[in-house]
Amino acid sequence: MRQTMNGVLRRHGLVLAFLVFLAGVALNAEAFLTPGNILDVLRQVSITGMMALGVTFVVLTGRLDLSVGSLLTLLTVIVVDQHNIAGPFPAIVMTLAAGLAVGALNGLLVGFVGLNALIVTLAMLSFLQGLVLFYSGGSNVNVQNAQETWFAVFGRGDFLGLPVPVILFLVGAVVAGLVLQFTSFGRRVYGVGGNETASIFSGIDARWTVFWTYVVSGFTTGVAAIIMGSRVMGAQNTIGQGYELTVLAGVILGGTSLLGGSGSVWRTVIGISMLGFIQNGLLLLGFAYYVQWLVTWAVIIIAVWIDLGAKRGRILA
Amino acid sequence: MSQATDIRAGSPLQSVVSWLLRNHIWVFLALTVTVFSLASPYFLTVNNLGNILTQAAFIGILAIGMTMVMIDGEIDLSVGAVLALASALAIGLQDHMGVWPAVFLGLLSGAALGFLNGTLVALSGMHSFIVTLGGLIGIRGLVFVYSGENALMVPDFSYTEIPEIYLGPISLTAIIFFALAVLFQWVLSSTRHGRETYAVGDNIEAAHDAGINVRRHKIINFTICGTLAAVCGILLSMRLGTAEPNAGKIWELWTIIAVVLGGTRLQGGFGSMWMTIGGVLTLAVLRNGLRLLNTPNYVELMVMGAVLVLALVLDKLLNHGEVP
């Protein structure tokens, strides 16, 4: 019986607690669980969620990517600026290419040169922030023909009653989940994260595996930047600042282990959505926006602690 | 902790070379100082050097605590938020209780949050990256809850004159930084707690088997780190006369950069305050020098990123593939 309780707690404790939270807010704020509000939350979540999909790959190998926030800023600035210069389609291509390039550079330094992922991506965070200021000259950019461009569809459009960014996020999540579950690349990612030495002895090239996870992370951040640019129709030089932390908090909250090897895309989707609903719920209850940070703190500690405690069978280390 | 570059039975030249290889940050510091001295006539002046020391002191004090935690193999991402809270309390409480009790409570808040971080890490077995990432987010929330969205202003501006004591060109802030660095270097090299710090960082299970109370040990180091962050916050509030709720944002990143630049390893078990001082000064010299040369802000950010990666590559090359 205790075993089953543990199993249930491990697998669904977080979700149960979250459902209690949802019910609690819904009882006190009528607007909370209406379709309109839920879609709004998902629309907000789609940007961090999209980034979190790629970061999940990186974290599954036991690495980190702290550069995604700065990269989001850079790519949003690029997509908006190039939209004015070259038009929407070339802008999208360039943005995705730049995202892939930065991901490849991270992957090269972490995977092949073998440098510490935390420091490399921290250095990249600083470097990219500099690159943003260099590119934009410090000024904000705006899409000039915001009313007529089809580029608006990514952030503002609807398709079959669902916001397009939400569809992009969900499709991205399904694809990412399928890749992790059913491709050899996915298995290699779990292998490298679970036991790198063993995976190398089993013939996995850990260097390439790590490299590609960073490329995936760069790509999903590129897609997120397109959604962001399209939604805001402009970009400030700090638009993505701190996003790396929100993204990481969502991934961790989902229960993906920072040590690698354990976790999944659907967990990330749950974690990042929980953050979105907590934020939205607290605002609807009339709390100031910074109260959500306190709650996030408590939720991260409690969620990860329960997860860890359930895995080792006792709560204290 | 093993040093592949350690050449024991060698000529004096060899031992000098091996020392330089292990402490390459000081070579790099000398290089940057030389370059900026040649590039700008204003760099190598007593006044500017004094300025650099003062500027370095803030990140430096954070870096001392971070070094203690990092040698333990842990990390503290919450120092920027802790310093903001300490500075807000030290200024905000002055109306109610006078200057020094407010300062004391500011320090206490840092110690308490460090204690909380350490306790959570020790009791839960969660990685300190997660615990203090939560802290970074949540403690910033505490600052906003306390001070609202506005900067707090000191009621009596004589408060800002407290650190205006100079020993020649060296400010009190810089003196406090160096005094704390020397103190904690002494702790690391000459006390039981220091030896245990290396032992825990090097091999936590061996340390536990050897009878070290790992939990208590980690809690102490996180408390030190939190307290030093509060010291930094209070010195900052004295310098500015205001406490801004966003003070110290991403300073934790600069601090980690400084410590890693110095050569202390994230894996733990290796590092020293001398290295950290080297890293802190190098960072400060780079920032100051680039500003004197009138380079735009983005060059600074890009150079920092490049230098950090370079430092990692150097460390890896010099230490024969020991992954930094």
Residue B2 has what pLDDT?
Answer: 44
Task: For residues B113 and B235, give the distance between their C-alpha atoms in angstroms, rounded to a whole number.
Answer: 18
Query: How many Å lie between the alpha carbon of A38 and the closest alpha carbon of chain B?
Result: 24
* Per-residue pLDDT tens digits for A61-85: 999 999 999 999 999 999 999 998 8
Contacts of A124 in chain B (CB under 8 A): 305
For the purposes of burial, counting CB atoms within 10 Å of the CB of B41, is it exposed (0-12), middle (13-18) or buried (19 or more)? Answer: exposed
Amino acid at B139: I
Question: 3-class DSSP state for residue A236?
Answer: coil
Q: Where are the beta strands (DSSP E) in A156-311?
A: 158-159, 162-163, 234-235
Beta-carbon contacts below 8 Å between A and B? 146
Q: Which two tokens stand for residue B30?
A: 């000398």
> Does A197 lie at the interface with B, CB-CB under 8 angstroms?
no
Amino acid at A203: G
**Residue B282 tokens, joined:** 């190098």
- pLDDT level of residue A177 (50, 70, 90 thresholds): very high
A3-38 pLDDT tens trace: 565 666 666 667 777 888 888 888 888 888 888 899
Six token digits for residue A187: 């298995």
User: Distance (Å, rounded) from C-alpha B106 to C-alpha B94?
Assistant: 11
Pairwise CB contact (< 8 Å): A115 & B312? yes
What number does CATH give the domain B14-318? Answer: 1.10.3470
Structure tokens at B5: 């570059």
Cβ distance of A308 and B323 shorter than 8 Å: no
**pLDDT confidence bin for A111, thresholds 50/70/90:** very high
B266 touches chain A (CB under 8 A): yes
CB A210 within 8 A of CB A111: yes
Find the closest chain B residue to A289 by CA distance.
B141
Nearest-Cα residue of chain A relative to residue B301: A130
Partner residue opposite A297 with nearest CB, options B124, B137, B313: B137
Residue of chain B minimizing CA distance to A291: B141
Q: Is B320 on the interface with A (CB under 8 A)?
A: no
Check residue B138 and give its pLDDT. Answer: 94
Detail the DSSP E strand segments found in A180-262: 234-235
Give the residue from B265, B307, B246, B301 showing the smallest Cα distance to B282.
B307
- Closest by alpha carbon to A99, among A227, A208, A221, A241? A221
Share of chain A above pLDDT 70, in %: 96
Cβ <8 Å between B142 and A317: no
For A262, the token pair is: 């354990």
Q: Does A291 touch chain B (CB under 8 A)?
A: yes
Chain mean position to CA B132: 15
Token readout for A133 is 């200021």
CB contacts, 8 Å: B257 with chain A? 119, 122-123, 126
* Contact call for residues A308 and B120 (beta carbons, < 8 A): no
Q: Give the Cβ contact number of residue B239 at 10 Å.
A: 18
Q: Does B301 touch chain A (CB under 8 A)?
A: yes
Dihedral of CA atoms A139, A143, A144, A145 in degrees, nearest 10, equals -170
Contact B144 A114 (CB under 8 A): no
Residue A46: closest CA among A179, A154, A181, A160: A154
Return the structure tokens found at A256.
Answer: 């993906």
**Closest-CA distance of chain B to residue A130, Å:** 4
> Which chain B residue shows the shortest CA-CA distance from A315?
B124
Question: Is residue A244 within 8 Å of residue A69, measured between CB atoms?
Answer: yes
* Calpha distance B135→B85 (Å, rounded): 12
Suggest the residue from B215, B253, B295, B308 to mutate for an interface test with chain A (most A CBs closer than 10 A): B308
Identity at B131, one-letter amino acid code: V
Q: Is B298 on the interface with A (CB under 8 A)?
A: yes
Say if the Cβ atoms of B256 and A122 lie within 8 Å. yes
CB contact under 8 A, B304 and A127: yes
Buried/exposed code over A212-240 (b: 16+ C-beta within 10 A; e: otherwise): bbbbbbbbbbbbbbbbbbbbbbbbbbebb
The owner of tokens 């607007």 is A31
CA atoms of A83 and A238, how far apart (whole Å): 19
Look-up: residue for tokens 């979540």?
A45
Q: Tell me, yes or no, if A182 comes closer than 8 A to chain B by beta carbon.
A: no
Does the ipTM surpass 0.90?
Answer: no
Q: What per-residue confidence (pLDDT) applies to B323?
A: 44
Give B107→chain A minimum CA distance, Å: 21
A239: three-class secondary structure by DSSP:
coil
Interface of B with A in 124-153 (CB under 8 A): 124-127, 129-131, 133-142, 144-145
Interface contact B141-A114, CB threshold 8 A: no
Rounded Cα–Cα distance for residues B198 and B213 (Å): 13
Yes or no, beta carbons of A126 and B266 under 8 Å apart: no
How far apart, in Å, do the first and last CA atoms of chain A sit? 23
Give yes or no for a contact between A246 and B134, defined as CB atoms under 8 angstroms apart. no
Round to whole Å and give the CA distance between A64 and A259. Answer: 10
Output the CA–CA distances (angstroms, integers) from residue A202 to A29, A147, A195, in the order listed.
54, 55, 11
Cβ within 8 Å, pair A297-B138: yes
Q: What is the pLDDT along chain B (324 residues), one digit of tens a residue?
A: 444 444 445 678 888 877 777 778 888 899 999 999 999 898 999 999 999 999 999 999 999 999 999 999 999 999 999 999 999 999 999 988 989 999 999 999 999 999 999 999 999 989 898 899 899 999 999 999 999 888 999 988 888 888 888 888 899 999 999 999 999 999 999 999 999 999 999 999 999 999 999 999 999 999 999 999 999 999 999 999 999 999 988 899 889 989 988 888 888 889 999 999 999 999 999 999 998 998 888 888 898 889 888 888 877 777 654 444
Q: Which residues of B touch A301 (CB under 8 A)?
A: 120, 124, 126, 131, 134
User: Which tens digits make up the pLDDT trace of A92-103?
Assistant: 999 999 999 999
- The backbone torsions φ and ψ at residue A61, rounded to the nearest 5 degrees and listed phi first, read -85, 0
Spell out the residues 6+ positions from residue B10 whose beta carbon is closer than 8 angstroms to its own. B18
SS3 for chain B, per residue? CCCCCCCCCCCHHHHHHHHHHHCHHHHHHHHHHHHHHHHCCCCCCHHHHHHHHHHHHHHHHHHHHHHHHHHCCCCCCCHHHHHHHHHHHHHHCHHHHCHHHHHHHHHHHHHHHHHHHHHHHHHHCCCHHHHHHHHHHHHHHHHHHHHCCCCEECCCHHHHHCCCCEECCEEHHHHHHHHHHHHHHHHHHHCHHHHHHHHHHHCHHHHHHCCCCHHHHHHHHHHHHHHHHHHHHHHHHHHHCEECCCCCCCHHHHHHHHHHHHCCCCCCCCCCHHHHHHHHHHHHHHHHHHHHCCCCHHHHHHHHHHHHHHHHHHHHHHCCCCCC
Predicted local distance difference test score (pLDDT) of residue A108: 95
Structure tokens at A274: 């929980």
The reply to whether residue A122 touches residue B257, judged by beta carbons under 8 angstroms, is yes
* Whole-prediction pTM: 0.88
Average pLDDT of every residue of chain A: 89
**Is the CB of A33 inside 8 Å of chain B's CB atoms?**
no
Radius of gyration, CA atoms only, chain A: 20
Q: Which of residues 96-155 of A touch B (CB under 8 A)?
A: 109, 113-116, 118-120, 122-134, 138
Find residue B171's DSSP bridge partners.
B166
Structure tokens at A173: 């999540």
Cβ B301–A116 below 8 Å, yes or no?
no
Residues in B 48-87 with any Cβ partner in A closer than 8 A: 75
CA atoms of A243 and A264, how far apart (whole Å):
20
Interior CA angle at A53 toward A62 and A184, to 5°? Answer: 65
Question: A308 and B125: CB-CB below 8 Å?
Answer: yes
Domain boundaries, chain B: 14-318
Question: Amino acid identity of B268?
Answer: G
